[in-house]
A and B are shown apart, each in its own frame.
Chain A
Amino acid sequence: MAAKFDLNDDSVVVVIGSGAGGGTLSNELAQKGINVVCLEAGPRTENWDFVNDEWASFDQLAWKDKRTTSGTWRVAKDFPNLPAWIVKSVGGSTVHWAGASLRFHDHEFKARTTYGDIAGTSLLDWPLDGAEMAPWYDKAEIKMGTNGTHGLPRLPGNNNYKVMAAGAKKLGYKEFHTGNMSINSIPRDERSSCLQIGFCFQGCKSGAKWSTLYTEIPKGEATGHLEVRPDSQVLRIEHDRHGKVTGVVYADAKGAHQRQKARLVAVAGNSIESPRLLLLSESSLFKDGLANSSGQVGRNYMRHTTGSVFAVFEKPVHMYRGTTMAGIVRDESRHDTKRGYAGGFELETISLGVPFAAAFLNPGAWGRDFTAAMDGYSRMAGLWIVGEDMPQADNRISLHPTEKDQFGLAVPNVHYDDHKNDEAMRDDAFRKGAALYEAVGAKRTILTPPYPSTHNMGTNRMSEKPGDGVVNRWGQTHDVPNLFVSDGSQFTTSGAENPTLTIVALAIRQADHIAGRMAKNEI
C-alpha cells in the first residue's frame, strides 16, 4: 500500500512531477526499496474521470497557469499565454500523449558532429550514444508495451492511417506502418487492448495507452516505498551552506506552505517548469539560480519543428474514429542535406474533433473559405509533422520581470525564434505532406500552423563539460551532487522523434545509477 512519509524525514528522495520522467523514476526507485515522495502540482484525475469532450478535457487536464511568450514563432501570436499544451494532473503529459514511442537515430545523439557548425545554433553532442541507450530503450519499450517491438503486434490501421499509407505508397515511401505506439494491441500488463475510442489527447478512458497514472504510480505505491502527493506545487528547492540540497518548499492543496526534507531531489516538471524552479531557487550561494553556474538553465529550449497538413477528400474519412496518432511515415527522418537542411522529420497521423479543428485549423480565420473547410470535416484526413529543431542559446525560459502567479512567483516567459533550418524543414514537410494527400485525390490541402508545444525539451541540457550544460550523462546537475533532472529538459538536442520513450529510458537508467550511488553512500 501507498507509503506516508514525515515532512522531516530527510532520508527520502523527492521527485518533482509524476509524468514520463518523474512517474517512471519514482516507481523504479520504489521497486529498488528506496523511499520516494513524489510531489505533483496537479490533482489526481483517474481515467474513469476523463471526458470525451475537447474543451471540457482541456479544462480538466491542461496546465493553464499564466505564461508569457516572445519571439518570432507563430505560437506567440496565436496563443500568447499558452506556449505549451501540457498536463497538470497526476501522470503529467503521459495522460494526454498520443503514444508514439520512437528511438532516436544514432546520429541524432551526435548532432554537432553530424550536422557540423550551423550558424546561430548551440548544437552539441549528447554525452552518450545509441549503443549505450539501446538496452535502456529495450527496458522502456517492454515497460510501456510499445507495439511493433519485442514481438508485440501492431494496431490495425484506422481510416486516417489508411489514407496516409495509400499516399505514402504513391509517393514511393518505404517505411510506413501503424507505428511503435505504447498502446496495447493485445491485453497486457493488466490493461485491456485498444477500443479505438479516439480522444487519446483527452486521457485514455480504457487504459490501453500507457500512462504513469495507472502503471508506474500504482505499482510504485504497492511497494510501500512511494507516496504521491497531488495538488502540491513546489515553489523552491533549498540547500545547505555546502551547496547540497536539503529539501523543497511546496504549496499544498489549501495553499499552505510545507517543507519536505530530502536526501536527494529529482526535478521532472517538464521543460518550462523545471528550469523555472531552478531559477526561482536562487540564493546567496547560487545567485543566478540553482545549478546554473554555466548560465545554461532555461536556455536551448526546443519544441520540434511542427505543423499539420489536413486534406479534404470527396468521400468520407472520419479521421476522428480510432487512435489519434494511428500511424507514421519514417522515410523523411533521415539526415540528408540535399533537402536543404540538417536533420529530418516524421509524419504522423493526427485528428482533431470539431471544437479543436475550429480553433486550430487556421487560428483567427473566419468567412466562407474557412467554413468550406469545416464543411468537409467528415471527409478530412490529417497528419502532423515532427521534426528536429535547432537548439539556440537565446531560445529560453526566463522569469518574467513583473508578472506573478497565484503563489506570488514570477511567471515563466517562453522565447522562441525559428531558425532558418527549422523554416526550411517545415516548408519541405508541408510540401511533402500536401503531395502525399494530393497523390490520393485530395481536393484541398490546409497547412495548419504549430499548436501550442506538446514536446518541450532542452532547457537543462546534458553536457560532457560543465560549462556547456546543466546536467551530466546521468542527469545529475554539474553543480549540486544530490540534485538531478529527470525529464525532457535534459535533452541535448531534440531529434525528430516524440520525446517520451527517450525520457522513460533515461529515467530507468537514472534510477539504476542513483540506487547504485546511494548504496555506496556516494550521494
Chain B
Amino acid sequence: MNDRDQSPSLDRRRFLRQSAGAAALAGAIGMLSDTGVAFAALTDGDIAAAAKHATAGPAATKTLTVMARDLYPHDQLDDSCYRNAVVVIDGKLSQDKATKALLHHGVASLDAASKKLKGKPYAALANEADRVAVLTSIEETPFFQKVRGEMVVALYNQPGVWKTLGYEGPSADQGGYIHRGFNDIDWLQS
C-alpha cells in the first residue's frame, strides 16, 4: 500500500503493479466494447449471461476462485462473490480467441508454478502464504495482470460486496442523504 512511509521512488516491482493498474481501467472500458454487456453494477442476469460464454471447466473455475480470494482477501465475503466475478471474467475473456487462450494457458501455468515452488497444484495448497508466494512468482505475467485488472473491477462492482464493506450505493432514488445521515458523525472532538 502506498503508505506515507513509502519512498516515492519507483522500483521495478511498483512499476509492474502500476502497469497492471492500467489493465484495470482498460479492461473496464473494454468490457462494453468486447461483449456488449454494460459494466454497471453486476446483476444476477449479468452473471447468468456471462456463464453462457464461460469456457473454464469446474477445476479451472475452482482454481480461479481461490486466486480471486487470494488477490483480494476479505474474510467476511462469501465465496459466491469471488465465483461470480470469475464467471463474469471467464465469460468475457472466452469470447476472444487470444484472451481465451491467455486464460486457459494461464491457469495451467499457475498450477505448474505452484507444483514447482510448493509441490502441489495451486488450489490444493492449504496455506494462504504459500499461495501468495506462488502468485507473487507469476505477478509479472500477462495472465496475472489481466486477471488482477479484471478482478478489481468485477469483484468490487457487486452490490453484495458494497453492503459488506459499508457502502450504500445509489442514493438519488431515496432522496439523497439530506435526511439520511450526511452529517451524522458523532465522535469528533471539537
A398 within 8 A of B: no
Q: Are A163 and B185 in contact (CB under 8 A)?
A: yes
Q: Mark B1-38, 1 if CB is under 8 A from A, else 0.
A: 11110101000001111111110111011001000001
Bound form: Cα–Cα A92–B29 in Å? 19
CB distance from B50 to the nearest CB of A (A): 15
The residue of chain A having its C-beta at the shortest distance from the C-beta of B173 within the complex is: A52
The residue of chain B having its C-beta at the shortest distance from the C-beta of A447 within the complex is: B2
Contact of B183 among A159, A198, A362 (CB under 8 A): A159
Q: What total of A-B pairs shows CB separation below 8 Å?
A: 211
Q: Determine, out of B51-59, B67-75, B96-104, the stretch whose residues face the partner at the interface.
A: B67-75
Bound form: Cα–Cα A198–B177 in Å? 8
Q: Are A59 and B32 in contact (CB under 8 A)?
A: yes
Q: Are B40 and A55 in contact (CB under 8 A)?
A: yes
Supposing A162-B185, A358-B155 touch, asked if A80 and B8 sit within 8 A by C-beta, the answer is no
Supposing A53-B40, A364-B18, A430-B4 touch, asked if A198 and B176 sit within 8 A by C-beta, the answer is yes
The B interface, classified by DSSP as helix, strand, loop or mixed, is loop
Contact of A56 among B22, B39, B181 (CB under 8 A): B39
A367 within 8 A of B: yes
Contacts of B152 in A (CB 8 A): 358-359, 366
A173 within 8 A of B: no
Interface residues of B in 74-89 (CB under 8 A from A): 74, 76
Q: Determine, out of B105-113, B116-124, B161-169, the stretch whose residues face the partner at the interface.
A: B161-169
Q: Are A364 and B21 in contact (CB under 8 A)?
A: yes
Q: Are A79 and B21 in contact (CB under 8 A)?
A: yes
Q: Mark B111-144, 1 if CB is under 8 A from A, else 0.
A: 0000000000000000000001000000000000
A109 within 8 A of B: no
Interface residues of A in 339-387 (CB under 8 A from B): 353-355, 357-359, 362-375, 377-379
CB distance from A442 to the nearest CB of B (A): 10
B175 within 8 A of A: yes
B92 within 8 A of A: no
The residue of chain B having its C-beta at the shortest distance from the C-beta of A204 within the complex is: B172
Contacts of B166 in A (CB 8 A): 316, 318, 377-379
Interface residues of A in 413-438 (CB under 8 A from B): 423, 427, 430-431, 434
Contacts of A318 in B (CB 8 A): 166, 168, 181, 184-185
Q: Interface extent on A, as a size class?
A: 35 or more
Q: Are A163 and B188 in contact (CB under 8 A)?
A: yes
Interface residues of B in 143-173 (CB under 8 A from A): 148, 152-153, 155-157, 161-162, 165-173
Bound form: Cα–Cα A434–B6 in Å? 13
Contacts of A375 in B (CB 8 A): 74, 76, 165
CB distance from A379 to the nearest CB of B (A): 8
The residue of chain B having its C-beta at the shortest distance from the C-beta of A359 within the complex is: B24
A194 within 8 A of B: yes
Q: Are A317 and B178 in contact (CB under 8 A)?
A: no
Bound form: Cα–Cα A445–B3 in Å? 6
A448 within 8 A of B: yes
Contact of B188 among A205, A363, A440 (CB under 8 A): A440
CB distance from A343 to the nearest CB of B (A): 19
Contacts of A365 in B (CB 8 A): 1-2, 17, 21
A259 within 8 A of B: no
The residue of chain A having its C-beta at the shortest distance from the C-beta of B175 within the complex is: A195
CB distance from B74 to the nearest CB of A (A): 5
The residue of chain B having its C-beta at the shortest distance from the C-beta of A352 within the complex is: B167
Bound form: Cα–Cα A77–B23 in Å? 10
Q: Are B156 and A358 in contact (CB under 8 A)?
A: yes
Q: Are A363 and B22 in contact (CB under 8 A)?
A: yes
Q: Which of B16, B32, B183 has most chain A Cβ within 10 Å?
A: B183
Q: Are B169 and A52 in contact (CB under 8 A)?
A: yes
Contact of A81 among B26, B169, B190 (CB under 8 A): B26
Bound form: Cα–Cα A254–B184 in Å? 50
Q: Are B19 and A362 in contact (CB under 8 A)?
A: no
A285 within 8 A of B: no
Interface residues of A in 297-324 (CB under 8 A from B): 315-318, 320-322
CB distance from B151 to the nearest CB of A (A): 8
A-B contact pairs, 13 of them (CB 8 A): A59-B38, A59-B40, A80-B26, A196-B177, A205-B172, A318-B166, A321-B181, A353-B162, A362-B2, A364-B19, A368-B73, A447-B3, A449-B2
Known A52-B170, A52-B171; further 4 A-B contacts with Cβ < 8 A? A59-B29, A64-B29, A79-B21, A359-B21
Q: Closest 4 CB pairs between A and B?
A: A363-B21, A378-B166, A195-B176, A364-B17
Query: Which B residues contact A (CB, under 8 angstroms)?
Result: 1-4, 6, 8, 14-22, 24-26, 28-29, 32, 38-41, 70-74, 76, 132, 148, 152-153, 155-157, 161-162, 165-173, 175-178, 180-185, 187-190
